[in-house]
Amino acid sequence: MYITLLTKPKKRKNKFEPGDFKTAVRRSSAGLGLFAVDEIPKGACIIEYIGRTITPAEEYTINSKYLFEIHSRRTIDGKPRMNRAGYINHSCRPNAEPEIRKGRVFIMAKRKILQGEEILYDYGKEYWKEYIKPHGCRCRKCKEKKG
């Protein structure tokens, strides 16, 4: 006789608390990317986008592509070495999305993310026009359109 023990996942206090999902930084089509080591369920909080809060004046002088605007008076500079979420690449067909809650940025799973799959979100129109469009989008959706 075999007995199967089922363990329930640890309950989070709220939906904006990152889960205990293992991730790995690896090569992707856009350079380095963040990949799911564990399967991540739809709606789960994957990770928080963290970094130094910069002043509005610094936004125009800082040499960083990792700026995440919370609102007109608060922007986070999330350079990738200190911010694992900074390795998440852009996609026009994302599997995750950022949600701003109480001045913090959380990356949430839009759908189930499979083990080994790259975590991706849409960087938004302004970033796309300034940084992605001039060089061509390298996301899977855009590559499929071309080929």
Q: pLDDT 10s digit of each residue in the chain, 147 long?
A: 344 444 344 455 568 888 889 999 999 988 899 999 999 999 999 999 999 999 888 888 888 889 999 988 889 999 878 899 999 999 999 999 999 999 999 999 999 999 999 999 999 888 888 888 888 888 888 877 766
Whether 61 is in a domain gets the answer yes
Whether 15 is in a domain gets the answer no
**C-alpha span between 13 and 145 (Å, rounded):** 42
Predicted TM-score (pTM) of the model is 0.84
**Which runs of consecutive H residues, i.e. helices, occur in 1-147?**
58-61, 125-127, 140-146
Q: Quick one: three-class SS letters along 10-22?
A: CCCCCCCCCCCCC
Tally of domains within the chain: 1
Is 132 strand, coil or helix? helix
Whether 6 is in a domain gets the answer no
Whether 99 is in a domain gets the answer yes
Whether 98 is in a domain gets the answer yes
Q: What is the CATH number of the domain that holds 71?
A: 2.170.270.10
Domain that holds residue 79: 23-146
For residue 98, which of 106, 90, 89, 109 has the smallest C-alpha distance? Answer: 106
**C-alpha span between 126 and 129 (Å, rounded):** 5
Whether 9 is in a domain gets the answer no
Whether 88 is in a domain gets the answer yes
Whether 66 is in a domain gets the answer yes
**C-alpha span between 47 and 17 (Å, rounded):** 8
